Structure 1
Amino acid sequence: MKTFITRTITALFFVAIMLGGILWSGLSFFTLFFIINFFALREYASLVRHIDPDYTEISPWHRNGVLVAGCALYMSIAGDRFGYDGFSLGEIGWVLTFIFLLVMPLGEILMGKNFSLKTIGYSLLGLLYVTVPFGMLVDMSFSHDVVPGFGQQYVWLYPLTLICAIWINDTMAYIVGSLIGKTPFAPAISPKKTIEGTVGGMILAVAAAGVFGHFWGYQWMPLQHWIAFAAIAAVFGTAGDLLESRLKRLAGVKDSGSIMPGHGGFLDRFDSLLVAAPIAWIYMRLFF
């Protein structure tokens, strides 16, 4: 009972923070995922250290430089809409990203105990796996049609739809799997996942988006976009969940972190989004 109460309180707090960050303004949304990106990168680095002990030998310059580079890269992808006195966060981010990606290997050569291109590769892979998807999520949330006097308009509907579709898919997959799930889906990666639960979650997520889009959501987006967002969230969100589960298996840990009692870490909460967001970004560039 105590565990259930803890998980419930944490979940409610998490939902409130997410909704507040998404709905308040474009800047609050940018800031929310700036923080999430920072801590998710730290958790990724922790997983890699468990998987390959060589990564524990990187210099403090490398370890901290990756976090700075991750924040800078996020700014460069998502920060063009925010700035002051002629400078945008995007421009500052590109400069800092270039500097740290250039200087970080040099610092590792000079200060690292055992220089290895492999450890540099792990860090670059972390930026690709964690930072780029979060940056793309924010980028797709702004209309590229410039409104005179206002710039690019923040459209909270897009990220909220994708995130809600992921939540619905995860919840329905858990419920269906608990009720009728018998056939393991990926026993070597996630023993509790079943084919029945996974397929049921996908179908119900798409059905929920279709019903909402048909009766209420058509005034904001055409029905096909509601269905497409839900399908992307269901299929690629599941792939993201399995990918992070695989990383945790290799690392020999249950959760990526412990910052959210009863729910693990940031990677545990946003693993689905890391794969679904880039696909949604591509879909929007092609069809919106």
Structure 2
Amino acid sequence: MTEFSQEVQQLLAQQASMAAQATTQLGSNPVATAIQWLNTLMMQAINVPEFEGESGMLTDFLERGTCIMSQVTGSGLDVGSTRAVRQMLIGRISVVVRRELGINVTEQWDAVVKRLKEGYGGARKSYQRQVVSLILIGRSKGESPRAYAQSMEAQVRVLCDRILETEEDKVKAQHAIELVKSLIIERIKREMPDRIKKALKPTGTPFRLDEAIDVIREEDEEFLESRKVEEGWTRVPHRYQKREPQRRENRETPRRRKRSIVGRRIVQPEREEEKEDYVCWSCK
């Protein structure tokens, strides 16, 4: 018997004592007793630690859930109350895991247990299922190539951190990270238009993920600029916003320009050319 199993047995004894006490206090009122017992089961479900995909936590989660559902079955609660406890318990599974395994909160507990065991019960690392899910993500309609690539890069960054936390062997972790990045690069390439696919063809050393993202960003920006030019847009100097007026005592004293006198003519120093930041577009 594990430490958690002992904890479950103690919890069951405590719950039985609470139920007996509630029955004594409430007398022969079955409705009040059922409400008290339902609240107790709901609190048990809420206190179950959320399962986020860690394979080592699956056994504890399933033991807690099965214990609660066995109490629901033997309590004689109505269908609505039973469903409420079950949905609360399934809600303790993280949204990521539920989406990954296709779990719905309206499913029966036995079906949920089966899917969790198939997905996370084996020797398979939890991050490996996330890799598969990430590879299946395609570019949605209306999403720009740059936005899709940057979104994938952000998710890969989170996944790489997860790999480093999961793998004890750092060499294997780095190898897994490089493999993930190479797979994601190929996935991103398949979602790109032909003009970007040509730019991503390596002439020598294959692109790293960050290099591929930079290429996609530059190609997408050039494409958008060319479309603006075709539509009649032109670049204009950026007009910087004027500063708010300041009081005289708060103004910084400007440095006076040195000037020289040649004969009777005052020679002003040459002013530096004002830099213009061509970042705005104007359409005539």
Q: Same fold by TM-score, threshold 0.5 exceeded? A: no
Superposition TM-score, scaled by structure 2 size: 0.22
Higher Cα Rg: structure 1 or 2? 2
Larger helix share, 1 or 2: 1
Of structures 1 and 2, the one scoring higher in RCO (CA 8 A, sep 6+) is 1
